[in-house]
Structure 1
Amino acid sequence: MRADGELTVGLLGAGMIAGVHAHAYRGSPGVRLVAVADPVPGKAERIAGRYGATVVPDLGALLDLGVDVVDICTPPTAHAGAAIEALQAGRHVLCEKPITRTMDEARRVLAAAEVAPGLLSVGQVARYGPDHRLARDLAASGEVGLVRMLSHSTTTSLPGWSEAGWLADAATSGGPLLDQGVHGFDYARWVIGSPAVRVHCMASGSGAGPLTYTLATVRYENDAIAHIECSWAHPASRGFRLRAEIIGTEGRLSWDYDHMMGGVLHAREGDAEWWDVLGDREFTLELSAFFDACRDGGPPPVPAAEAAESLRTALAAIESARTGRTIDLTTWEA
């Protein structure tokens, strides 16, 4: 970081979520995107050209530029190696969720973060939605009494934006239970404030693939429960829908929305322009909190250990859906 407080960023990956991050940097004064790396020809150029950054071939080249922050927006199977290399090079690291694809990888990342001088935070962006955060703050203040149940539902069709369709490959993405459901598992743990101890998940296949409609029930150490629904099996014409509810001994909170986009401009000529709620709300707040933590010396906004716990719950839900068994998280090894 320069004496004037400027933070320089190297963006690893140039897919959809990387574009959302690059857009959201604009909400953080004193942050400059220096370079973008992606192995697919032409992808990095699109983001770099829009934001005045340089195109470089790989993570090593990003590190050679001396960037302060490495923002990892690759498929999850590449998270561990990139995070460890960047941490060992002394950089701050923001890694998109899930923290890694497997628990073995997560343990290696946690070990690297413990001895690294830089911060590691994970992109559990649901914590930064104004509705999600307000509901959590009200619950934490005791407004609804003791939280006994939380439900979190996200339903959509199979996302079509992943390079070569990697999201549809469960070995890479983990399917909706990991790619999408990890938001719900993380949010529930954050609100309930107690470790998950048991998971049972039912799932059905669809045209989007196996285990693409899922409903998981999670029991926590304090006896609260959460219902996490996620789907890639819904019609594309329906779009994305979120419904959430927190129920306590003294009241209940609920909210929902029908689309990721907050509005649309239909110009006389050209394509419609959608206003991206994610880029302008959740991600802007998430990235601002991370950059502030980098300047202040921590702590990370979403500690890696909490993200690893959410990963473990999601992996247990996958195992439950596959086997039909309830998974005891107090003894289960992923």
Structure 2
Amino acid sequence: MSPELTVGLLGAGMIAGVHAHAYRDAPGVRLVAVADPVPGKAERLAGEHGAQAVATLEELLALGVDVVDVCTPPTSHADATVAALEAGRHVLCEKPVTRTLAEARRVLAAAEAAPGLLSIGQVARYAPDHRAARDLVEAGEIGTLRMLTHSTTTALPGWSEAGWLADPATSGGPLLDQGVHSFDYAGWVIGSPAVRVHCMAADSAAGPSTYAVATVRYENGAIAHVECSWAHPASRGFRLSAELVGTHGRLAWDADQLMSGVLHRADGASEWWDALGDREFTRELGDFFAACRAGGPPPVPAAEATESLRVALGALESARTGRTVDLTTWEQP
């Protein structure tokens, strides 16, 4: 591998654009091409970054890129990730690792056999507030962590191609698309396997189970409470709050404290200005590229992301059946 890492970006939607922008702050990394089957999308994003536009993963691989960055809907993650790994490339795959546990097992097997590195885009681990809180827990500043609460609420996102986010079969709804960040962060900070989950969810105009609350028990006795919603007013913007309670202290923060300003329009709409921008994505990608150069380990192993997926899917199952799901034995139907 040359000192320069070349990247092929699979997908040209919103998150792909964020990744492409973050490459600019990654020394020795060059975006070679963007692939998207929707006419015009790859051309627009590639043109902004001096890259080539192609239509398929096969064309990306034919260009000999070192890294494939998978930024497509989760139902396509498994096939794309496995193909890129089998072609000998490093792979960064956006969260969730896959849409199903069966697909995740395919990806895990491919990653184990492949020479390249696979990391999953669980970017909440890189948000400055989330990382600082985890470091304080690790340092014992609040004693033994016993409870973690994580809430993310917003309106139904409107940026997905042909509205795939609104299709639960593709996105998994907020419990998977949005909640997987919370489940991953909780598991990462608590540092113990999740053993059971109970979830209640309500339907809304945004779709089925678009307001949900889940409680997770971990092997070490800690609990996590996760709230997520696509049913909140659009004018309120995206809101995040978190609380970590230990035997000797408490940490808490919310996203409003991180906003640099808000514009309230005469028509009732509001526009929030995020002071953080894409800082966490820059850190996430920087960590991944450094790991590629060092030969590993991956910053977010696929096995850890699979456990986060299991909790999110278990929460969906609990919401559907009204029963607590034993994560030590449960398998997705």
Under a length normalisation based on structure 2, what TM-score does the superposition of the two structures give?
Answer: 0.95
Secondary structure, aligned partner of 1:258: helix
Deviations 1:199-258 (A, max 9, x none): 000100111011000000000000100000000000000100000011000000011113
CA distance in 2, matches of 1:237, 1:90: 46
Deviations 1:86-140 (A, max 9, x none): 0000000000000000000000000000010000000000000000000000001
- Which residues of structure 2 form unaligned runs of 5+? 264-270
Structure 1 residue aligned with 2:94: 96
Report the residue type matching 1:210 in the other structure. Answer: P
Of 288, 293, 296, the match for 1:295: 293
Report the residue type matching 1:174 in the other structure. Answer: G
CA distance in 2, matches of 1:101, 1:155: 22
Alignment RMSD, CA only? Answer: 1.7
CA distance in 1, matches of 2:259, 2:35: 27
Structure 1 residue aligned with 2:283: 285
Secondary structure, aligned partner of 1:158: coil
- Which residues of structure 1 form unaligned runs of 5+? 266-272
Give 1:280 deviation, angstroms.
2.7
Report the residue type matching 1:307 in the other structure. Answer: A
Bigger mean CA offset, 103-112 vs 41-50: 41-50
Of 109, 130, 149, the match for 1:111: 109
CA distance in 2, matches of 1:185, 1:150: 10
Give 1:274 deviation, angstroms.
8.0
Secondary structure, aligned partner of 2:143: coil
Runs of 4+ in 1 over 6 A off after TM superposition: none
CA distance in 2, matches of 1:259, 1:251: 21
Under a length normalisation based on structure 1, what TM-score does the superposition of the two structures give?
Answer: 0.95
**Alpha carbons of structure 1 residues 44 and 257: separation in structure 2 relative to 1, 3 Å:** same
Deviations 1:134-159 (A, max 9, x none): 00000011000000000000000000
Give 1:40 deviation, angstroms.
0.6
Report the residue type matching 2:191 in the other structure. Answer: G
CA distance in 1, matches of 2:7, 2:329: 40
Report the residue type matching 2:88 in the other structure. Answer: G
**Alpha carbons of structure 1 residues 17 and 259: separation in structure 2 relative to 1, 3 Å:** farther
Report the residue type matching 1:49 in the other structure. Answer: G
Report the residue type matching 2:164 in the other structure. Answer: W
Q: Does 1:243 align with 2:241?
A: yes
Q: Does 1:159 align with 2:138?
A: no
Aligned residues: 326
Structure 2 residue aligned with 1:140: 138
Deviations 1:48-84 (A, max 9, x none): 0010000011000000000000000000000000000
Report the residue type matching 1:64 in the other structure. Answer: A
CA distance in 1, matches of 2:39, 2:272: 27
Q: Indicate the percent of aligned positions where both proteins have the same amino acid.
A: 79
